[in-house]
A and B are shown apart, each in its own frame.
Chain A
Amino acid sequence: DTEVTQTPKHLVMGMTNKKSLKCEQHMGHRAMYWYKQKAKKPPELMFVYSYEKLSINESVPSRFSPECPNSSLLNLHLHALQPEDSALYLCASSQERISGNTIYFGEGSWLTVV
């Protein structure tokens, strides 16, 4: 069982809606990540937070807005999404952002944009 918890598990939203995906970990990890996975494709990195600061943004459109309120929480705010943004959004965490740390994933949030 994963120790990275994501909510909601499923979300359907219209293109004009504003919604948020939430992620929580209580492993004391200082790095947290958002990945996006389309059907039958590998996960792709979106954002990396380290010590609650944004470290990496992989040129993600501004309709995706990450937020790290504290070291245990990571949110992904969604606004004006497109149908092609429908995907599985995976949150992950690791002890540190330094290479060599195992990255642990949550079960993901399935997002459908209609």
Chain B
Amino acid sequence: SQQGEEDPQALSIQEGENATMNCSYKTSINNLQWYRQNSGRGLVHLILIRSNEREKHSGRLRVTLDTSKKSSSLLITASRAADTASYFCATDSHSGYSTLTFGKGTMLLVSP
């Protein structure tokens, strides 16, 4: 069963704009991870944020976590055409285990 739900399911923007994707989950978590997947390819790990962290940055990526609302957001600033991909949030699916339950994903299209 899916733990995370991404919103929106699809997002289309122009190069240079910012893209924000949201993720909500249902049960308590130890950490939340964001992944990118180019069409037909494997998953690339972007950021891991722990339950005691509120915000994390990596280059043009900014992730926030609100455990009281059971939600997270991924912000990509100054987007590029190469950012076109599906983005998934994933949470622990087995208590204490580093396994992942993925949300449905957001498909991001960045047009030149």
Contacts and interface: CB of A to CB of B under 8 A. Distances in A.
Nearest to B103: A42
Interface of B: 2, 30-31, 33, 35, 40-45, 48, 50, 88, 92-105
How would you classify the secondary structure of chain A's contact residues: helix, strand, loop or mixed?
A: strand
A104 B48 CA distance: 12
Contacts of A6: 42
Given A31-B98, A43-B88, A110-B40, 4 more contacts: A43-B100, A43-B102, A98-B98, A105-B43
20 contacts: A6-B42, A31-B98, A33-B99, A42-B2, A43-B100, A43-B102, A45-B93, A45-B99, A45-B101, A56-B97, A90-B42, A90-B43, A94-B98, A97-B97, A98-B97, A98-B98, A100-B31, A103-B99, A108-B41, A108-B42
A42 B88 contact: yes
A55 B94 CA distance: 11
A29 B94 CA distance: 19
A88 B40 contact: yes
Interface of A: 2, 4, 6, 31, 33, 41-45, 48, 55-56, 88, 90, 92, 94, 96-108, 110
Contacts of A41: 104
Contact of A103 (B2, B40, B45, B94): B45
